[in-house]
Amino acid sequence: MNRKRDYEAESDSTDVLGAPDLTPEELAAEWAAESPPPSGPVANLAASLVAAGVGIAGMIIALGLGLGTPGEPRPGTWPFIISLIITVLALAQLVVGRRGGMDGERFSPLSRMAAFGFVTLLAMVWLMPVIGFEIPALLLCFVWMKFLGGETWRSATLYSVLVVAAFYAIFILGLGTSIPYLF
């Protein structure tokens, strides 16, 4: 939460250049150690099953559209082929990645931030046509800066108001777009 202060403290000491000498290999290893752990076998199972589900659903719908023949392709031909490919690949991934690979990233407590961000964006989409963009945008800015970004109350309030005012000036007054607005 105190990123700002940490940052300034570091810049006072002007001592980044004193960081230890690292060879490219050591540096790569350090990056690998800093990066979050791969998503693991459960995530692979879930992702493969979802992908296979998409493939199977696609095949069923495509069958309803008519499969046709190579000589006379119908609307369902191409979607069926792709859905079949998705299903086969998903099942292959299910087996290949059963021990969890090196890819993806495990969810961490910080992932809640992304989920929270997504919910606030949905709220903005829901509120914008009802009460215009200003209030939802102001709330979005404030919440993201204060709770997701760890800004102080003062700077979060100040910057949110400035940002929304700037957007109002650009999109409503300047460009005259038809974005729903209240004031």
# residues contacting another protein (CB under 8 A):
84
Q: What x/- string results for residues 144 through 163 when contact with another protein is judged by CB under 8 A?
A: xx--xxxx-------xx--x
Instruction: Determine the Cα–Cα distance for residues 21 and 27; give it in Å rounded to an integer.
Output: 9
Does 79 help bind another protein (rule: CB under 8 A)? yes
Site for another protein in 3-62 (CB under 8 A): 3-4, 6-7, 10-11, 14, 16-17, 19, 21, 23-24, 27, 34, 38-39, 43-44, 46-47, 51, 54, 58, 61
* Cα four-point dihedral sign 19, 25, 28, 34: negative
Does 74 help bind another protein (rule: CB under 8 A)? yes
Site for another protein in 104-143 (CB under 8 A): 104-105, 107-108, 110-111, 113-114, 117-118, 121-122, 124-125, 128-129, 133, 137, 140-141
Q: Which residues fall within 8 angstroms of residue 127, CB to CB, at 6 or more apart? A: 135, 136
Name the residue among 15, 18, 84, 11 with its Cα closest to residue 54. 84
Q: Which residues fall within 8 angstroms of residue 31, CB to CB, at 6 or more apart? A: none
CB 8 → another protein: shortest distance, Å?
9
The Cβ-side half-sphere exposure at 162, using a 13 Å CA radius, reads 7
CB 88 → another protein: shortest distance, Å?
10
